[in-house]
Amino acid sequence: MDLNRVEESIREKNYESAILQRFVFYRSLCRPINYRVIAPTEDMLNKDMMFRKEIEGSLQVYFKIFVTTSRHIRSFMKYESRLSDLGIKLPTWLREKVKLYLGESKGEYVSSP
């Protein structure tokens, strides 16, 4: 991870920076192997706790959406498979509504034929 880019994003208060979000994500989940390397970046981020909390809050929202959506996708795929095993095919209109709800148009859900 390019810590120079992370620090630049912190200085610019770039809430949308993918590398900054990744840094905050990794730091919230992982213990660093060589803390001395990232300590200055961590300190820089900690100087503005409101900014850090905002980034962390955004990541929490993303995770809630991901976990909720992925759980529904797996459940629907299992349900659809079980029905298929019984010889029951879901009506196209129903499959399309479910796919739309689960976000297939964004490539998040790919159903079986």
Residue ranges of the domains in the chain? Answer: 1-47, 66-113
What is the pTM (predicted TM-score) of this model?
A: 0.56
As a whole number of angstroms, the distance between CA 103 and CA 113 comes to 17
Per-residue pLDDT band at 113 (split at 50, 70, 90)? very low
pLDDT tens sequence across 33-55: 788 999 999 999 999 999 999 98
> CB–CB of 80/99 below 8 Å?
no
Query: SS3 helix, strand, coil % of the chain, rounded to 5?
Result: 75, 0, 25
Which pLDDT score is estimated for 9? 95
Res 69: pLDDT: 67
Question: Taking the mean position of all CA atoms in its chain, how far away is CA 9?
Answer: 19
